[in-house]
Amino acid sequence: MSQEDPSNVRELISEARIQERVSELARQIEADYEGTDEVVLVGILKGSFIFLADLARRLSIPRRIEFMAVSSYRDGDRAGAVRLLMDLRTDIRQRHVIIVEDIVDSGRTLEYLLNNLKARGPASVESCVLVRKPDGEHTPTVRYLGFEIPDAWVVGYGLDFAEQHRPLPYIGVLEQPPGDAASDEPSR
Ligand code: IMP
């Protein structure tokens, strides 16, 4: 099975559509932050790395790139607590921050991140999310959203299953969704 065209991944959002949407999101962000000194883009590792790279390159406003890593783990069938694995290396007090996240599923991770960063006294904190699944248990505010998707396990464009399929240029549905064992500690 080739990494580029795996037989168990069904294309959901094409490369062209993703690229078009990332450009649209960049135009929205530019309009909203026009005149601000700098926007701090906080990419959430690992899943956002390709989205962040494309978004950052399309923005014409001053921007700084930072990263955080978190991990959420499951308690039986329920999503468990979020753990901070790697913190920011910069002070965001009085700065404009946009969290760049790959996916919102239960919403727990993004809710945690928004609360965590808001507590540090930034000028503002918003979120830019590539894809969102329906009916999350938590409903954090997503200011910039790429796509609403069905409730299925998706891979590609940075998203993985057990570290597989991140380099795919499109987003696809994994035909054999992860079982309980694999989702104990989802890779990011
Ligand atoms: P949450 O349930 O919104 O907190 O999302 C938890 C994390 O699980 C996400 O940030 C992703 O890293 C991962 N995740 C959830 N659904 C998917 C998926 O369909 N594909 C890849 N990763 C996912």
- Residue 4: C-alpha distances to residues 1, 22, 146, 169 (Å): 9, 21, 23, 8
Would the CB of 105 count as within 6 Å of ligand 1? yes
16 — phi, psi (to 5°)? -60, -40
Which pLDDT score is estimated for 2? 47
Would the CB of 49 count as within 6 Å of ligand 1? no
Mean local confidence (pLDDT), 79-102: 94
Domains and CATH numbers, the chain: 6-174 (3.40.50.2020)
Prediction pTM value: 0.91
Which pLDDT score is estimated for 80? 72
Query: Sorting pLDDT into bands at 50, 70 and 90, what band is 135?
Result: confident
105 is catalytic: yes
Mean local confidence (pLDDT), 109-119: 97
Which pLDDT score is estimated for 74? 60
**E strand or H helix that includes residue 138:** none
Which pLDDT score is estimated for 1? 45
